[in-house]
Amino acid sequence: MAKIRTFIAVEASQAIKSQAASLVERLAQTRAHVKWVAEEQMHWTLKFLGQVESNEVPRLCQTVAARVEGFRAFEILASGAGAFPNSQRPRTLWLGMEQGSDAFVCLHQCVEESLFDLGFRREHRRFRPHLTIGRVRRSPRGIAELAEAVAGQADFFAGSMQVPELVLFASRLRRTGPQYQPLCRIPLGR
């Protein structure tokens, strides 16, 4: 049976993607070596699943849908640039979430529990909602400049959006970057 690389996420609205792309433009002016995320691929990851059997996709979708059935749609405000592990040693650059992060964390826990029931490991790190905008390459060139630029965008505001559904995506790695394909959409309550 074929295996598919998968993850569960919330698609960012086009307005937030556009604002995040403008943040990327600002940060890309530094000399740091960063692999920037393409605007059309920006999303809020809830859970990376890795390789799953293609015949397991319907059961995955049904199990997650049953668990989030009573979870109501909610609004988020996307704001604040940051970095993991921290802004002085940036490895992953992100756009944060000001409002709605508590609901997003609860939604993540719901998804975690449903997937644990299917044999997936729980994430042991604290979940922090973020939209990845770039990954820093190992080169130290421009890191201090990048750290300063990220700190200068701590109040960056990207807008608001409703979270109406979750999406199970297939992720195919290509030379030009990953390609994402929705496998199923899981609506939240209204």
Catalytic residues: 43, 130
Dihedral of the alpha carbons of 118, 119, 122, 127, in degrees to the nearest 10: -40
* Per-residue CA distances from 18 to 14, 26, 35, 127 (Å): 6, 13, 18, 25
**How far is Cα 72 from Cα 9, in angstroms, rounded to an integer?**
16
Which residues contact residue 52 at a Cβ distance below 8 angstroms, ignoring those fewer than 6 apart? Answer: 3, 4, 6, 60
Short-list 8, 75, 16, CA closest to 42 = 16
* Per-residue CA distances from 139 to 30, 71, 90, 135, 176 (Å): 13, 43, 11, 12, 21
**How far is Cα 125 from Cα 123, in angstroms, rounded to an integer?**
6
Short-list 124, 18, 17, 130, CA closest to 83 = 130
Q: At 126, which helix (H) or strand (E)? A: none
